[in-house]
Structure 1
Amino acid sequence: MERTITIGTRGSDLALWQANFVKAALAKININAQLKVIKTQGDNILNLRLDKLEGKGFFTKELEEQLLDGSIDLAVHSHKDLPTKNPEGLVIAAVSGRENPSEIILILKDCVDASKKLSVKHNGIVGTSSNRRQSQLHAIRPDLEFENLRGNVPTRIQKLRDEDYDAIIMAKAGAERLKIDLSEFYVEEIEPTAEMVPSPAQGVLAIQIRENDKELFDILQNLNDKEVAEKIGVERKVLNLFDGGCHMPLGCFCEKDEEGIFHAWTTKSIDQDEFPDRLYLTSNTTEGLAEKIVSKFDLANRKLPKTVFISRELSEHSYFRKALEKHKIKIEDRSLIRTVPTIHKLDSYIFKQVDWIFFSSKNGIEYFFELNPLLPKGIKFGVVGRGSEEALKQRGKKVDFIGESSDTEEISKEFAQIANGQTILFPLAKDSLRSIQKELAKDTKIIEVVIYETILEENVAQTYADVLVFTSPSNVEAYFEENLLEPNQQVVAIGKSTGKKFEEMGVKYILPASPDEIGLAEVVFGIDVL
């Protein structure tokens, strides 16, 4: 191909990086290209929130117009900014690989409170123009205040530097692509399956051309990432079926595991102030997956559970409680076990050679710190799940490893990769399953201290709730000592160790994506009652 391709792009630093990235990729296959900078409506109007701008495609419309009239041959977009339908005559010819789709929250260092979720101080002011981000963040931190934040990435960071806000949120991919030094801020990453589900196609570039330019389309297949296209195809179809623009409070993220199973997380609310509904589904195929996701949000045509039992007492501020009460689901929360300490003193010499302290439960954290341990500096902390992370943060401790999976074997393998060969202290319960220890290498020194004991309650009353959520193997034992499942009752196990109890009983159960209240809310929202 001898012609020089003209690439249309917005003029921001990030847009230019994206266009130059495509230009360099074309150069590798011996295709010459040049850039043409085009201003869009979104660049010109900076005083309004994104959801106040008229119509859709306010970052793309002008580029598409110049594609159609032949002024440019190719436009590079951040895929999440694109409307779900191409203008007639245009087509997405290729998509890039996916940069890290996580969000990051940048916090002024004197506005950090490490005991809080996401580490922003109480009543902090957070800058964002995204309804999606505000909806999800407000659900876990209702104390925070939100103010509009517009501008390109360097401009937004400068506004934080000028102390217009206490913290701001942005896509990690943007900061990484521009190689921005963020060391002056406290930076916390939010995984795409955790508190902040990203925008559909976040972290992916879209290459748009004229539909009749067959020669260029064929060339661009060398740049097209088919696996990414398959996954974001689900995300973008969800957006399309909801008929939402990029200002809709909608997050959707799809990934594929090593066994070829697709996992999809979706969050949606009416506006930025409404508590969002969250859904987690798995599928062997992407065919029909988007339709199934959208159907779960059609509450006029499906029945949610009326009553949910959970084997744990919930606080009034519990995320799980809020998620259920939004839909007037009655909650029966009671623990079926009690715990008691087994020791009342911990000798400080035990910590002299310790590199890590690993907690498998919030109970372990509670009883450990009741012993008032004198910990030397430099000890690292590992935990299973975000609930344990929060318990440690409330004690002012930085968490160095968080097991996000419901599968303790998977968590153990991940932890072993960073902790093998070191000395690890495990404060644990009597008769603990010791799941994390199993994957550690032989040269790893393991110190175990039994600090509490679990006692099963007797004569546990039966529940007639539609859904039964069990939060530990001990709670399963306590309940089924006296009771059986009623017809049509459905069971949720918070993690695989709890699930194994049901496997031994021959009982089917549902496993959340993460062993915490957000994970539980996701699966319960997806349950249909008969």
Structure 2
Amino acid sequence: MKKLIIGTRGSDLALWQANHIMSELAGIGLEAEIKIIKTQGDKILNLRLDKLEGKGFFTKELEDELMAGSIDIAVHSLKDLPTVNPPGLTIAAIPQREEATEYLLILKDCVDVSQKLSLKKGAMVGTSSNRRKSQLLGLRPDLEIEDLRGNVPTRIGKLRNEDYDAILLAKAGVKRLGLDLSDLHVEELQTTELISAPAQGALGIQIRESDTELYQALQPLNNPRTAEEVGVERKVLNLFEGGCHMPLGCYCKKEADGFEVWTAMADTAEDFPNRLFLRANDSAGLAEKIVSAFNKEKKRPSKVFISREIGEYSYFRRALTQNGIEIEGRSLIRTFPIVNILDPFYLKNIDWIFFSSRNGVEYFFKLNPQLSKRIKFGVVGHGSEDALRKFGHFADFVGESGDIAEVAADFAALVAGETVLFPRAADSLQTIQKSLSAETKVIDLPIYETVIEENIDGSSADVLIFTSPSNVDAYFADNLLEPGQQVIAIGNSTGRKFDEMGVAYTLPYAPDEIGLAEAVFGMEIR
């Protein structure tokens, strides 16, 4: 085969991508050279992308040269590529993608650990992505969002010049360029917290449809798993008829038993995003199912009961209120401390402290513990992480799944052979502790107890959310489910109570306010 010509944009990241593909081609015996092509998105830097006409601001000129025959391959960031190929062109290969998470880069004097995302109140964040803006404001409505254009090094330079307090970038670009960020605070936002753009972190190798020999030669570079995952994400984008300016995030992950997909969408960048989490056995029809679930005409719950108090400005309240859903929040239990003074023995030679609830965090720090700087913290989920932040500490491990067995397995692998302190409720099931290896030392510290309220009034809500096994016991001591009521259990231990009762329930992906809101939004009242 003749020497191939690879077309690419001229940014540092685009050149890294093109050189990476050229190296991969060499590995399968194909020689290539690079041709730099300037696109509309490179030329116009004073306008937001959603103010430009048409689509494919970073890809059209490459496609034109590909169709004209002046290049043989176009290497794209797949998230920039329109979901429909021009006639005569095709995506020949999608290599394994880099992580799709986001980096929030923060000037160190603008860090406030006690706040969600570690950003000080009212911080100015730079991004021109409507998707990022909508989701950021959903998590932190106090932030000020300002436009930010330019390639990755340029954006980081503007942050260092203090034009912004923080900026958002895709981790993939920063990692590929190997940039030194040691002078900045780096907060990695997982795809379950801030949902990435469709195909974020993936590359697309585009060729002419008529080059069938080249198509076959490129197949060793194609990663079927990545292709299937981003295929779902890009189909969702296509069905919504959106471009890069649409406030849409979609991330698909293929697991051994099927697919997990997170989607966030808003009407405008200023609107609170609706979110949805779906599991499916295969990818056939999955994108259509996601888009259908966002149909505003479907019958959603009119009222939701949750067995905890819900703050006026909490994410869960704002998510449900914008969809016209009434919230009835009341705790059915009371908690009391059973330790008032912390024996220094418990803190000697500790490597980790693990919290399985927000109550555990709050009761532990009320004891004013004197902690070594080397101690690391683990938490069961983002709710406990937010509670830990209020006391000025980061979590070194955060459970990302609502399946406590998965969280336990991940934590056990991390702390094997170390010493872990567990401040907990007296009636805790101790699932994490029981999953640790024999060489891991467990120090048990019951610090509060739970008391069930009596004579609990039932709720007529369409959906009942239970946030602990104790709340289930309290509610059903005096009440039964009404016809048509649906149940959400915050985690496996709560769900086991319903298994014992023979009651069907929904389990959210994550045991936090985002996960609960996603679960409610995914329900349809029958």
TM-score bracket, normalised by the shorter chain, equals over 0.9
Deviations 1:37-85 (A, max 9, x none): 0000000000111211111101001000001111111100000001111
- Quote the Cα distance in structure 2 between the aligned partners of 1:98 and 1:168: 23
- Quote the Cα distance in structure 2 between the aligned partners of 1:107 and 1:215: 48
Alignment of 1:57-72 (within 5 A): 57-72=56-71
The residue that corresponds to 2:479 in the other structure is 483
394, 410, 422: which one pairs with 1:398? 394
Q: Decide whether the 8 Å contact of 1:407 with 1:497 is kept in 2.
A: no
> How far is the alpha carbon of 1:498 from its aligned partner?
0.9
| Identical counterparts, % of pairs | 62
- Quote the Cα distance in structure 2 between the aligned partners of 1:270 and 1:179: 36
The residue that corresponds to 1:499 in the other structure is 495
- Quote the Cα distance in structure 2 between the aligned partners of 1:380 and 1:92: 45
3-state DSSP class of the match of 1:459? Answer: coil
The residue that corresponds to 1:86 in the other structure is 85
Q: Does 1:43 align with 2:42?
A: yes
One-letter code aligned to 1:278: R
Q: Decide whether the 8 Å contact of 2:331 with 2:471 is kept in 1.
A: yes
The residue that corresponds to 2:267 in the other structure is 270
> How far is the alpha carbon of 1:256 from its aligned partner?
1.4
- Quote the Cα distance in structure 1 between the aligned partners of 2:440 and 2:303: 46
The residue that corresponds to 1:231 in the other structure is 229
Q: Decide whether the 8 Å contact of 1:512 with 1:522 is kept in 2.
A: yes
Q: Decide whether the 8 Å contact of 1:392 with 1:399 is kept in 2.
A: yes
> How far is the alpha carbon of 1:121 from its aligned partner?
1.0
> How far is the alpha carbon of 1:350 from its aligned partner?
2.1
Q: Decide whether the 8 Å contact of 2:4 with 2:73 is kept in 1.
A: yes
- Quote the Cα distance in structure 2 between the aligned partners of 1:85 and 1:372: 59
- Quote the Cα distance in structure 1 between the aligned partners of 2:52 and 2:132: 18
Deviations 1:318-369 (A, max 9, x none): 1010011001111110111111111211112321211111111001111111
3-state DSSP class of the match of 2:288? Answer: helix
- Quote the Cα distance in structure 2 between the aligned partners of 1:87 and 1:521: 39
Alignment of 1:98-247 (within 5 A): 98-194=97-193, 196-247=194-245
3-state DSSP class of the match of 2:388? Answer: helix
Q: Decide whether the 8 Å contact of 1:305 with 1:467 is kept in 2.
A: yes
3-state DSSP class of the match of 1:221? Answer: helix
One-letter code aligned to 2:220: N
One-letter code aligned to 1:497: S
Q: Does 1:73 align with 2:72?
A: yes
Q: Does 1:348 align with 2:344?
A: yes
Taking structure 1 as the reference length, the TM-score comes to: 0.98
> How far is the alpha carbon of 1:9 from its aligned partner?
0.2
3-state DSSP class of the match of 1:222? Answer: helix
- Quote the Cα distance in structure 2 between the aligned partners of 1:211 and 1:376: 62
Deviations 1:5-42 (A, max 9, x none): 11100000100011111111111111111110000000
> How far is the alpha carbon of 1:107 from its aligned partner?
0.4
Q: Decide whether the 8 Å contact of 2:129 with 2:245 is kept in 1.
A: yes
3-state DSSP class of the match of 1:398? Answer: coil
The residue that corresponds to 1:313 in the other structure is 309
- Quote the Cα distance in structure 1 between the aligned partners of 2:223 and 2:437: 37
- Quote the Cα distance in structure 2 between the aligned partners of 1:210 and 1:219: 13
3-state DSSP class of the match of 1:515? Answer: coil
Q: Which runs of 5+ in 2 are unaligned?
A: none
- Quote the Cα distance in structure 1 between the aligned partners of 2:5 and 2:466: 59
Q: Decide whether the 8 Å contact of 2:225 with 2:254 is kept in 1.
A: no
Q: Which runs of 5+ in 1 are unaligned?
A: none
One-letter code aligned to 1:467: V
One-letter code aligned to 1:398: F
3-state DSSP class of the match of 2:70? Answer: coil
Q: Does 1:387 align with 2:383?
A: yes
The residue that corresponds to 1:432 in the other structure is 428
- Quote the Cα distance in structure 1 between the aligned partners of 2:304 and 2:427: 29
The residue that corresponds to 1:283 in the other structure is 280
Deviations 1:183-220 (A, max 9, x none): 110001001112x1000011100000111111111111
**Paired residues, what number?**
526
Deviations 1:210-253 (A, max 9, x none): 11111111111111111111111110000000000011000000
400, 407, 412: which one pairs with 1:411? 407
- Quote the Cα distance in structure 2 between the aligned partners of 1:431 and 1:324: 32
- Quote the Cα distance in structure 2 between the aligned partners of 1:275 and 1:41: 31
- Quote the Cα distance in structure 2 between the aligned partners of 1:71 and 1:376: 63
Q: Does 1:468 align with 2:467?
A: no
- Quote the Cα distance in structure 2 between the aligned partners of 1:100 and 1:108: 23
- Quote the Cα distance in structure 2 between the aligned partners of 1:42 and 1:79: 15
Q: Does 1:508 align with 2:507?
A: no
3-state DSSP class of the match of 2:220? Answer: coil
Q: Decide whether the 8 Å contact of 1:323 with 1:521 is kept in 2.
A: yes
One-letter code aligned to 1:118: L
> How far is the alpha carbon of 1:486 from its aligned partner?
1.2
Q: Does 1:12 align with 2:8?
A: no
- Alpha-carbon RMSD across the aligned residues, in angstroms, is 0.8
- Quote the Cα distance in structure 2 between the aligned partners of 1:281 and 1:31: 41
Taking structure 2 as the reference length, the TM-score comes to: 0.99
One-letter code aligned to 1:394: K
3-state DSSP class of the match of 2:210? Answer: coil
370, 373, 397: which one pairs with 2:366? 370
Deviation beyond 6 Å, 4+ runs, structure 1: none
